[in-house]
Structure 1
């Protein structure tokens, strides 16, 4: 438990590791909701994006302003819906093999206990992120990944030469934008479901103490009645009547019954 809190403190103390140095606006509510709970700590996220990615010769030939990532160059990236003019302008810079990609929302969460990861996994699956999963690493580190198969990847050019028509590119952009809209709906559904599930979990965690208090109340009344009965052996009928005057057996039985029924 102490190890989890230490990891969370270290993670949240760091600056955002993304190129823009901040959370994606659409992912921020989910990230903040989870980090506000003691049992969760988000480690990375992306709200979803449309990318023109170039590989091969693009790594050495890319312009200085291009975004480099694992042997590929991003000629264009947006976390919103895109338009044809932006895509065509980006394709003019192509010198290698270029693909148009839509990558959906992804979120990695460090969890304190396995049951916390299972709760998050269930919510993610129900919200449409059906490629989500849980991994347990060395030292009991529990990671939950929220992922989806709601992807798109289509090649557009080879060695800088455009291999498809502009009409087809326009069709692909329309398909990618529809996926972005669906991605947004799933994120909203995930957030609302998380709010409900985490609220329910808190209620469930507090209910056992309420039951304990009720059981203690019933136990107290039963002990009190037993004590009175034991004292009857050493008291006269007169004393016995005085002892039961504040609360007779019938009242005790009714009170116990009421406690059990609540």
Structure 2
């Protein structure tokens, strides 16, 4: 049987994910799969009809916009240097801070703890207000986002059902038209932008200094909000993982009843599977032993009744 396009792509992605972290790099700022969702990625990629193509577990970041075009100047010739887009990306923008986990508040108890962490300088009275075209500095919280390639339309529907039930309300599917070979492999984006936020906290001066527009107390408040949303994000990830496994549980064991599974790591799951296998072996042995019961024993057992035709206790 010829290998399908989906199987070919899945095998290639699995080979890339299988290399050591020191050798694996993707297009994200971190360059590899985020630690908080490695178990989720492993479970998704363990399903025959699914493979992740990109992922971010969620993050708090501080981002310096790229060089903006001077809106006061009419440009007659194409500019040689790239400029930032409306969101500030491109044009030489850079990350000043990134964390894929909540930021411990105790680590920044100093007077300017977050100022130092985010590479900001306190604004003094001589600093003028920044121009509209200035390179602004943002603090952002972005929830988890996953892109999952699916083997069939039914697989994409299962992923969407799990995503929406877990609270990832902006999830959707693309690539819904069959290829020339007739294959239909939708890509599902699992995401929820409703609890993300983006706030301007500073700007870069012409001298290259990053100047804060807010004080340390304001930064602490923003980080505390981001940490709270990390908790929401983590809970939704757990719900998605559980719901997705439930979607595929009847396929792996048609006789199994769907239950509310708790999240479990690889070692716990391995132990559970081992115990379930032993339980099935014991059940089969007991069934075989019962089938060997002699006709005489069955007859004697059937005669242990009282005159009212009820079993004796």
**TM band (smaller chain):** 0.5 to 0.7
1:147 Cα deviation after fit: 0.4
Tell me, in whole angstroms, the C-alpha distance in 2 between the residues paired with 1:10 and 1:92.
39
CA separation in 1, counterparts of 2:223 and 2:117?
13
Question: 2:37 pairs with 23, 27, 32, which one?
Answer: 27
Q: Relative to structure 1, is the Cα distance of residues 11 and 132 closer, same or farther in structure 2, using a 3 angstrom cutoff? A: same
Aligned partner (choices 119, 123, 130) of residue 162 of structure 2: 123
Q: Unpaired runs of 5+ in structure 1? A: 61-68, 207-262
Measure the CA separation in 2 of the matches of 1:153 and 1:6: 39
Aligned counterparts, 1:48-197, within 5 A: 48-57=58-67, 70-71=90-91, 72-83=93-104, 85=108, 87-93=114-120, 96-136=135-175, 139=179, 140-149=184-193, 150-159=195-204, 160-197=210-247
Counterpart Cα distance in 2 of 1:195 and 1:77: 30
Displacement of 1:152: 1.1
Secondary structure of 1:45 counterpart: strand
Contact 1:8–1:41, Cα closer than 8 Å, also in 2? yes
Pairwise CA distance, 1:26:
1.3
Taking the aligned partners of 1:111 and 1:169, their CA distance within structure 2 comes to 41
Give CA deviations for 1:39-77 in whole Å, capped at 9, x if unaligned: 00111111111000111349x9xxxxxxxx744211000
After superposition, the CA RMSD in angstroms is: 2.6
Larger Rg: 1
Structure 1 residues 70 and 118, CA gap change in structure 2 (3 angstroms): farther
Offset at residue 170 of structure 1 (A)? 1.2
3-state DSSP class of the match of 2:9?
A: helix
The match for 1:227 is none
Aligned to 1:9: 11
SS in 2 for 1:81: coil
SS state at 2:36 partner? coil
Q: Secondary structure of 1:56's match?
A: coil
Partner SS for 2:158: helix
| Structure showing the higher helix proportion among its residues | 1
Say whether the 8 Å CA contact 2:146–2:190 is kept in structure 1. Answer: yes
Aligned residues: 197
Q: Which residue of 2 aligns with 1:200?
A: 250
| C-alpha contact (below 8 Å) 1:29/1:191 kept by paired residues | no
SS at match of 2:242: helix
The two structures have a TM-score, normalised by structure 1, of 0.68
